[in-house]
Amino acid sequence: MSAQPNPADRAVIADARAWLAQDPDDETRAEIQDLLDAAAGGAGEARDRALAGLHARFDTRLQFGTAGLRGAIGAGPNRMNRVLVAQTASGFADYLRGRSSRPSIVIGYDGRKNSDVFARDTAEIMAGAGVRAILLPRKLPTPVLAFAVRHLGVDAGVMVTASHNPAQDNGYKVYLGGADHGTQIVSPADRDIAAFIARAAKDRAVRDIHRSAEYTIADESVLDEYVTLTASILRAPVAPITFVYTPMHGVGWEVAERVFAEAGINPPVLVDEQVEPDATFPTVEFPNPEEPGALDLAFAKAIEVGAELILANDPDADRLAAAIVDDHGAWRRLSGNEVGALLGLGIADRYASEGRTGTFASSIVSSPALAAIARAYGFGFQETLTGFKWISRVPDLIFGFEEALGYLVDPWKVSDKDGISAALAALEGALLLKAQGRSIDSYDREFAERFGYFASDQISVRMTDLADIPRVMERLRAAPPKRIGSIPVERVDDLLHGFGDLPPSDVLRFWLAGDARVIIRPSGTEPKVKVYIDAQSTDGTAEQRKNAAKAVVTELSVNVHRLIEV
């Protein structure tokens, strides 16, 4: 005889049945029905697995925050699915109606599983709620959606994407127009929207949410204008350059191809296996150009054709990775900090030559190199919390970046990181150097001679028990280390309740002797603790500076693991 379900099991079964009654998706309905059948008719381990599966899906809910929603596709409130998206869209529509008497929204989507379905659901629900809804005409990059929010003058934007997350994930990224100028949401908007979503989920069955087909499909003028404005940033002498490009199975190539052509750049050599959008990302373990092995096909193609540069967008094309062949003939991927510094220096040169002023910005976990550039040129500089929702809000911004391959080179056009315009800026730098008979590798050495060498590293530690993350942070706050390895800790900044102009954030920043630093924070999207390590040197030759800074980073990297052991 099978054991009788306990109260928690009875409750989760009831929740699953209620969800099943309103789920419009055959796939997730079947997923829940299979679990319910196994929980009701199974025995032993099969029944226990089914109940565990129900609890995993229904005991918690994907939390809506400043990153919107992001999670694995599946059934239940703790997964990305049509019910959750419908509740989110309905609640967000309520929020927008409270902000405007005639609210409007533009909606975009990438090539991930169900992105188009979630986008159409959102458009229908917004239209049914009286919000003027515009749907982008097909799979397009996130920067195009972010551009459209400002270009169309709407009150909000939604991009259905999980960016560079694993293939099983999808997400729902929210932008606000008007006084927010097309930026991603920040507090308190995230809390306010989340409250409306919770109310909609509680009060409305999905089948009762009014829908309408009276939404608009955006015409090609939105994309045309994005392409024209992006191409206009190129001011370098146009000359042949052999470069490899990959969109990493994402949606970047259609737009990147048009931008390169309009700017007068010769077509790249493509990584053919990765050109077409493919939600399974078959050639990479993770569709993130930062991950080891993600650029292997690009490296092979670059060697085959004798390329000078590799450029890679992530699947929604808001990030850019770059790789170069060094003066010894070896290929290496530049870190996000290296690309940010090189793009920043190029923009500083341009603005200074034109007599223009402005402010540079980077996240607190990004390299201090950009601040050094800004000081040398007399530009303003501002640090922000991680994420372009903060960087893009910096007043008088002329360039912003974060170490996670995010760059904003044309803030007058878009209020978010843009991997396509960043690709064009990287090509411009390569073309300028080529015209002068110089390489990116030699330019990197010149940078070290001029500003010092800035070394960095990042360590991510995955936690199987989510409760371990706050335990680690609480322990470090209660007993901060006196030294890391042999390097003394001189002071600690705790950002939990804000610090200077920075809003509150669960971040600890350790300043060490010799201008080194270690920053520790929980990941905003994954069950990880992240550690960012930076060191710099201005003593000796470029090579000596490089060796000194890297030695400090190596020592810190080896010893920092002890700080975050559970």
Q: Which of 169, 194, 219 is the last residue of a domain?
A: 219
pLDDT reported for residue 196: 97
Q: Which of 17, 37, 58 is the last residue of a domain?
A: 58
Phi, psi of 10 (to 5 degrees): -60, -40
- For residue 64, being part of any structural domain is answered with no
Q: What CATH number does residue 524 fall under?
A: 3.30.310.50
CA distances from 555 to 338, 467, 544 (A): 20, 29, 17
Does residue 309 share a domain with residue 377? Answer: no
**Look-up: residue for tokens 């054991």?**
3
Q: Which two tokens stand for residue 140?
A: 């397009």
**Look-up: residue for tokens 């056009």?**
413
pLDDT reported for residue 236: 78
**Distance (Å, whole) CA 245 – CA 408:** 19
pLDDT reported for residue 188: 93
Does residue 74 share a domain with residue 214? Answer: yes
Does residue 205 share a domain with residue 73? Answer: yes
HSE, side-chain direction, 13 A CA sphere, residue 291? 14
CB contact set of 138 (below 8 Å; sequence gap of 6+) = none
In 3D space, the residue among 384, 352, 566, 544 whose CA is nearest the CA of residue 455 turns out to be: 544
Does residue 343 share a domain with residue 329? Answer: no
Q: Are 173 and 68 in contact (CB under 8 A)?
A: yes
Omega before 188 within 30 of 0, i.e. cis: yes
- For residue 167, being part of any structural domain is answered with yes
Does residue 172 share a domain with residue 97? Answer: yes
Q: Which of 333, 362, 386 is the last residue of a domain?
A: 333
Phi, psi of 544 (to 5 degrees): -65, -40
**Distance (Å, whole) CA 338 – CA 155:** 36
Does residue 387 share a domain with residue 300? Answer: no
The two beta strands, 331-333 and 380-384, are unpaired
In 3D space, the residue among 432, 462, 453, 493 whose CA is nearest the CA of residue 368 turns out to be: 453
**Distance (Å, whole) CA 229 – CA 313:** 19
pLDDT in tens, the chain (566 residues): 455 668 899 999 999 999 999 999 999 999 999 999 999 876 788 899 999 999 999 999 999 988 899 999 999 999 999 999 999 999 999 999 999 999 999 999 999 999 999 999 999 999 999 999 999 999 999 999 999 999 999 999 999 999 999 999 999 999 999 999 999 999 999 999 999 999 999 999 999 999 999 999 999 999 999 999 999 999 877 788 999 999 999 999 999 999 999 999 999 999 999 999 999 999 999 999 999 999 999 999 999 999 999 999 999 999 999 999 987 889 999 999 999 999 999 999 999 999 999 999 999 999 999 999 999 999 999 999 999 999 999 999 999 999 999 999 999 999 999 999 999 999 999 999 888 888 888 888 899 999 999 999 999 888 877 788 889 999 999 999 999 999 999 999 999 998 988 999 999 999 999 999 999 998 866 678 899 999 999 999 999 999 999 999 999 999 998 888 76
Does residue 157 share a domain with residue 76? Answer: yes
- For residue 485, being part of any structural domain is answered with yes
Does residue 12 share a domain with residue 75? Answer: no
Q: What CATH number does residue 157 fall under?
A: 3.40.120.10
- For residue 448, being part of any structural domain is answered with no
What's the total number of domains in the chain?
A: 5
Q: How many residues does the chain have?
A: 566
Burial (Cβ within 10 Å: 0-12, 13-18, ≥19) of residue 3? exposed
Structural domain span for residue 139: 69-219
- For residue 198, being part of any structural domain is answered with yes
Does residue 210 share a domain with residue 150? Answer: yes
Task: Tell me the residue type at 167.
Answer: A
**Distance (Å, whole) CA 390 – CA 308:** 34
- For residue 443, being part of any structural domain is answered with no
**Distance (Å, whole) CA 201 – CA 87:** 5
**Distance (Å, whole) CA 321 – CA 422:** 9
Does residue 231 share a domain with residue 213? Answer: no
In 3D space, the residue among 154, 194, 199 whose CA is nearest the CA of residue 177 turns out to be: 154
- 3-state SS assignment for residue 406: strand
Burial (Cβ within 10 Å: 0-12, 13-18, ≥19) of residue 314? buried
Please state the pTM of the whole predicted model.
0.94
Q: Which of 90, 163, 392, 421 is catalytic?
A: 163
Whether 163 is catalytic: yes
Task: Tell me the residue type at 317.
Answer: A
Q: Which two tokens stand for residue 371?
A: 């601040």
- For residue 445, being part of any structural domain is answered with no
CA distances from 139 to 120, 255, 503 (A): 12, 11, 35
Does residue 75 share a domain with residue 133? Answer: yes
Q: How many other C-beta atoms lie within 10 A of the C-beta of residue 396?
A: 12
Q: Which two tokens stand for residue 281?
A: 């990302």
Does residue 117 share a domain with residue 197? Answer: yes
- For residue 490, being part of any structural domain is answered with yes
